[in-house]
Amino acid sequence: MKKLPFVLLRIGITVVLLIFLFSGTDVPMLRDVVRTAHKGRLAAAFALFVFLNVLVLLRWQCLVRARGLRVGTLRLLCAYLSGLFFNLVLPSTIGGDAVRTLDIAGSTGEESSTILGTVVMDRMLGFFGLFTVLIFSLLFGFRRFQDPSILVAAAALLAFVVFASGVMFSRRVFRFCFGWLPFARLREYLRRVHVVTREYRDKKGALVTGWSLSIGIHVGLAFMFLLTAAALGERVAVLHALMFVPMVTAFSSLPFSIGGLGLRDAATVFVFTKVGMGAEPAFAISLLTFGFMFLLGLFGGVSYVGTLYRRRV
């Protein structure tokens, strides 16, 4: 019950953002843009999205196996798909991460803190890859699009990456940030998660593999955006997609709305209208990419229900 106000706040933020976006959008035009989309290109974009999720699964599997945990690929796949489903129905991605953590912990007998450490490391490698793609795109594309807001966003993301790296890999930074927590059991649980992430310093092969996969994933997300835009008849420069899509992804991961809905759409409209795209096509692309997430999440829901008897969640 204590979490209910925060849940309602996130739902409220999502609703307000969507109302704001729809009120400033020509809805009939938005509907026409989606209706006339090229079905083959949309299908290709969705296929690419599915493939990129396979790469995310492989990244997590690499981190799990680096810990010496023997978990079957099918077991990881079911947990991952269930996490996608709960990312849709819960007000943040934390719920989905909790589901896959408890699922694998229950099926392996490992402590949940150990599995959560692999999930946290998986998330952070995603941010490391995202930041890498963003920095390289800025090096080559910032002269074509000189907007200080882009540098501010990149600087904020860099600060987050540095801070998160310190918390995960440095005992001193972790104690400084969390040693003051008054709840002994929570503090001890977080310490055990930190021990798991810190031990990855000695697993450089897994980190390099995960980082490389993350770079490929975020480049792939940019091209998924390009394919979706092409399906709507919109031309987007590759550098703009490589620059803006990581920023939109980072912004939509903030735990302020349901599944990033509203945040992702507002960020997409904000950045792509700066390079000449209309608000309606930008909004349509964002809604369609959310549709990809929704379809895969629904498949995860079917997977979750189909194997419910094997789960402890």
pLDDT digits (tens, 9 = 90+) for 34-64: 778 889 999 999 999 999 999 999 999 999 9
Per-residue pLDDT at 1: 46
Q: What is the pLDDT of residues 85-102, one digit of tens each?
A: 888 776 556 778 888 898
Q: Which two tokens stand for residue 1?
A: 């019950």
Per-residue pLDDT of 101-151, as tens digits, reads 988 988 888 899 999 999 999 999 999 999 999 998 888 876 766 677 778
Q: Kindly tell me if the per-residue pLDDT of 302 is higher than 50.
A: yes
The answer for 257, left when phi > 0, alpha when psi is -120 to 50, beta otherwise, is beta
Q: What is the pLDDT of residue 99?
A: 87
- 217-272 confidence digits (pLDDT tens): 999 999 999 999 999 988 888 988 998 999 888 877 776 666 666 778 788 888 88
Q: Is the pLDDT of residue 293 over 50?
A: yes
Q: Would you state the pLDDT for residue 130?
A: 93
Is the per-residue pLDDT at 312 higher than 80? no
- Average pLDDT, rounded, for the chain: 84
The pTM score is 0.87
pLDDT band at 29 (very low <50, low <70, confident <90, very high): low
pLDDT exceeds cutoff 70 at 6: no
Q: Are 119 and 60 in contact (CB under 8 A)?
A: yes
